[in-house]
């Protein structure tokens, strides 16, 4: 199948914390080398180089995306403000050169010249082993695969050295899109198996420290918390050869230092500065600032409904009424976000996600609700956040702490290091916390599978369980698969209404991805994972 036919067939489906002098590679005498090298600075970095690893954090997604291939990826379209934006419903080949979608299976022909970073050929056996690994390691990767009804190793079949078939467990519109996310990446199975052990049969300890893929880049140096260095794989066949030969990604925790590096021209890109800086930098003629809403994403306050007093819905409602929503929008975000609060009382529920709740700041009502719940004098608790994204999380939590104190809720702020955040969050022991979740597949039911389903959902960190909620979610999934629009619409409205009624988590806003780049850097694309795709970036 030609690429045109392929597309037609699937359409519709510095050292940390210090302002050090720029190293020698940045000197004017080496301008050519600099044009092929990208220097990125960020608040935090990866804690694991393997998306299948235990507790891999969001920065780890960036490594996996650029260093590993998947069978397919997404086409691009024009998004908000004309920014190139992944097309949810259109796909293109990456490791596959051909994709045949049948009634209950999909078959892929691999590119015959695809090779791993060590020169070994990519075979159907590698694809099967990698998919087997994803559905078997447990935790986030396995749940992600399950979100597309990919749950059993028997579903992945080697037809011949160059052909692999994936059998569908059921009709599910999420199955094909789920093959284009980060988790079903293809790993060099023979290399990893050589470094596996009886206790670690999938070689997770080996791939935590080094990449073993066929992607456009490979990690040549990683100093945790300080720096990641990646070099281009000149033998990459997953797409056009990237223009950038070398990526130097440095962790610079202080926002002021990151901004200074940008303004001096010593750094090429930073994407997690405080929003105030982004607003101010928009007037800097030397920089290009991009702001794009997270697809299917919400920053929220979560409450663990298994831990008193958050097991009481009136307490949760009281907290929802005490949140200083507009102060957060103004003082923390400087308007660079979409409010998810304050909808009109008569506003009808939409068949969409995210959408705003009808809550707004009402301290008097919050006090009354707390008294009705049996806590007229309030209580004490902890409010946790991810220190890896402190630029937003810390001032947000301080404002929430101050506002909750007005209704008698005394909070101790608990700052959890970014490298440990995902692990601590998934223990489901935090009583009160803020977090952001952005669903990789931009469908309402996908977000709710992850965040509200009561059957061991990874990001249902509120420990929320509701038979009615589970039925609405499952109903929407099944209705979408067979094109029953009326039932789908009713089920989506049903789970949104129930989420807002039981309020185990309080939506605050839909965040924006904010990226600051030098004017000579182009090619930025917004992806569902919100991280940088080096493959499209160009530096003049």
Show the tokens assigned to 431. 């009583």
Query: What are the backbone angles phi and psi of residue 70, rounded to the nearest 5°?
Result: -120, 170
| pLDDT given at position 12 | 44
What's the CA gap between 446 and 453, in Å, rounded? 10
**How much is the CA Rg of the chain, to the nearest whole Å?**
23
Show the tokens assigned to 157. 């079949």
3-state SS record for 148-190:
CCCCCHHHEEEEECCEEEEECCCCCCCHHHHCCCCCCCCCCHH
What's the CA gap between 259 and 237, in Å, rounded? 36
| CATH number of the 3-253+519-539 domain | 3.40.190.10
The 10s digit of each residue's pLDDT in 102-126 is 999 999 999 999 999 999 999 999 9
Asked if residues 7 and 219 have their Cβ atoms less than 8 Å apart, the reply is: no
Query: pLDDT: is 154 or 25 the higher one?
Result: 154
The residue-averaged pLDDT of 341-361 equals 98
Residue 145 has pLDDT above 70, yes or no: yes
Q: What band does 17 get if pLDDT is binned at 50, 70 and 90?
A: very low
Residue keyed to tokens 């979408």? 480
Close Cβ partners of 346 (under 8 Å, ≥ 6 residues apart): none
Q: What band does 473 get if pLDDT is binned at 50, 70 and 90?
A: very high
The 10s digit of each residue's pLDDT in 22-80 is 444 444 445 556 779 999 999 999 999 999 999 899 999 999 999 999 999 999 999 99
What's the CA gap between 382 and 241, in Å, rounded? 49
The residue-averaged pLDDT of 416-431 equals 94
| pLDDT given at position 30 | 54
Residue 10 has pLDDT above 60, yes or no: no
DSSP string covering 197-214, please? -SS-TT-HHHHHHS--S-
pLDDT over 90 percentage in the chain: 90
The residue-averaged pLDDT of 472-498 equals 97
The residue-averaged pLDDT of 134-152 equals 96
The 10s digit of each residue's pLDDT in 195-226 is 999 999 999 999 999 999 999 999 999 999 99
The 10s digit of each residue's pLDDT in 263-279 is 999 999 998 788 999 99
Neighbours of 293 (CB within 10 A): 19
What's the CA gap between 362 and 407, in Å, rounded? 10
Close Cβ partners of 234 (under 8 Å, ≥ 6 residues apart): 241
Asked if residues 183 and 52 have their Cβ atoms less than 8 Å apart, the reply is: yes
Residue 458 has pLDDT above 90, yes or no: no
The residue-averaged pLDDT of 290-312 equals 97
Residue 13 has pLDDT above 60, yes or no: no
Query: What are the backbone angles phi and psi of residue 239, rounded to the nearest 5°?
Result: 180, -170
What's the CA gap between 46 and 417, in Å, rounded? 12
Sign of CA dihedral 419, 424, 426, 431: negative
| pLDDT given at position 455 | 85
| pLDDT given at position 31 | 55
The residue-averaged pLDDT of 284-303 equals 95
Name the DSSP class of 391. H
| pLDDT given at position 483 | 95
Q: How far out from the chain centre does Cα 188 lie?
A: 24
The residue-averaged pLDDT of 13-29 equals 40
Show the tokens assigned to 315. 């307490």
Sign of CA dihedral 135, 429, 340, 277: negative
Name the DSSP class of 441. S
| pLDDT given at position 457 | 83
Q: Do domains 3-253+519-539 and 297-511 have the same CATH topology?
A: no
**CATH level 2 (architecture), domain 297-511:** Roll (3.10)
Domain ranges of the chain: 3-253+519-539, 297-511
Name the DSSP class of 97. E
């Amino acid at each position: 199948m030609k690429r045109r036919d392929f597309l037609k067939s699937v359409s519709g489906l510095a050292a940390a914390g210090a302002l050090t002098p720029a190293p020698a590679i940045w000197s004017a005498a080496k301008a050519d080398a600099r044009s092929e090298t990208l220097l990125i600075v960020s608040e935090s970095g990866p804690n694991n180089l393997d998306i299948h690893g235990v507790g891999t954090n969001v920065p780890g997604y960036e490594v996996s995306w650029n260093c590993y291939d998947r069978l397919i990826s997404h086409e691009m379209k024009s998004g908000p403000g004309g920014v190139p934006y992944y097309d949810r419903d259109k796909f293109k080949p990456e490791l596959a050169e051909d994709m045949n979608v049948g009634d209950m299976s999909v078959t892929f022909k691999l590119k015959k010249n695809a090779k791993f970073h060590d020169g070994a050929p990519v075979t159907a056996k590698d694809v099967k082993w990698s998919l087997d690994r994803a559905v078997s390691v447990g935790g986030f990767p396995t749940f992600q695969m399950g979100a597309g009804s990919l749950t059993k190793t028997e579903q992945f079949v080697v037809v011949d050295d160059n052909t692999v078939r994936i059998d569908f467990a059921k009709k599910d519109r999420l199955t094909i899109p789920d093959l284009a996310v980060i988790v079903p990446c293809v790993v060099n199975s023979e290399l990893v198996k050589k470094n596996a052990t009886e206790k670690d049969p999938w070689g997770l300890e080996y791939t935590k420290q080094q990449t073993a893929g066929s992607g456009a880049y490979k990690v040549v140096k990683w100093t945790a918390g300080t720096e990641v260095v990646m070099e281009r794989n000149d033998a990459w066949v997953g797409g056009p050869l990237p223009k950038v030969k070398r990526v130097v990604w440095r962790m610079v925790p202080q926002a002021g230092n990151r901004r200074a590096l940008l303004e001096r021209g010593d750094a090429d890109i930073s994407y997690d500065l405080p929003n105030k800086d982004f607003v101010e930098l928009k007037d800097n003629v030397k920089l290009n600032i991009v702001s794009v809403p997270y697809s299917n994403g919400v920053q929220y306050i979560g409450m663990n409904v298994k831990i008193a007093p958050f097991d009481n819905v009136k307490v949760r409602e009281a907290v929802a009424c005490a949140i200083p929503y507009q102060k957060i929008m103004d003082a923390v975000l400087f308007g660079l976000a979409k409010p998810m609060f304050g909808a009109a009382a008569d506003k009808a529920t939409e068949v969409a996600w995210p959408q705003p709740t009808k809550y707004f700041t009402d301290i008097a009502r919050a006090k009354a609700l707390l008294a009705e719940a049996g806590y007229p004098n309030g209580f004490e608790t902890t409010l946790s956040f991810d220190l890896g994204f402190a630029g937003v999380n810390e001032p947000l939590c301080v404002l929430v702490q101050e506002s909750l104190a007005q209704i008698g809720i005394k909070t101790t702020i608990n700052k959890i290091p970014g490298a440990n955040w995902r692990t601590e969050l998934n223990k489901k022991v935090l009583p009160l916390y803020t977090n952001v979740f952005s669903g990789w597949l931009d469908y309402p039911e996908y977000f709710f599978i992850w965040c509200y389903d009561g059957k061991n959902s990874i990001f249902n960190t509120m420990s929320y369980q509701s038979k009615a909620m589970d039925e609405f979610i499952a109903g929407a999934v099944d209705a979408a698969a067979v094109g029953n629009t009326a039932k789908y619409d009713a089920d989506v409205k049903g789970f949104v209404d129930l989420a807002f009624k039981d309020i185990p988590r309080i939506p605050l806003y839909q965040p924006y991805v904010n990226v600051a780049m030098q004017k000579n850097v182009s090619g930025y694309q917004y992806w569902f994972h919100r991280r940088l795709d080096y493959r499209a970036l160009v530096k003049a």
